[in-house]
Amino acid sequence: MMNFKKFEHPFGSHQAWGIALLLLSADLAFMTMHTVNALTVWWNNPMLNIEKDHGYPETFQYLKYFWASILCVVLAVRGRAWQFLAWAFLFVYLLADDSLTLHEQAGSAVAV
């Protein structure tokens, strides 16, 4: 049985909404920088391209996956809600898949 006393209203707190707003704002900023970089001559930085592997936006996504997995482990341990470990493993898998291009390599192996 999960102990929900500590987690009754996690999205009712100002801190959770603040973090969500910061993460979404950063994503919007990266999309804006990508658009300005691609459509104007003001910038010529390929690291701002959202399609570039290991560029700035993708590195930010790696950080989000990493911190989401850490937060899920902390929630699992502190709240003794072990179901959060499944989410932690999912975020670790997404981080590994995205950073190591696992699905691209598997697709290439199957297609040959």
Please state, in angstroms and rounded to a whole number, the distance separating the CA atoms of residues 112 and 98: 22
State the sign of the Cα–Cα–Cα–Cα dihedral 75, 77, 79, 82: positive
Q: Are 37 and 48 in contact (CB under 8 A)?
A: yes
- Cα–Cα distance list, 56 to 3, 59, 60, 61, 95 (Å): 39, 5, 6, 9, 15
Give pLDDT tens digits for 81-109: 889 999 999 999 999 998 898 878 877 78
pTM as predicted: 0.77
- Look up residue 41 and give its DSSP letter: S
The pLDDT value given to residue 56: 95
Could you tell me the pLDDT band of residue 38, with boundaries at 50, 70 and 90? very high
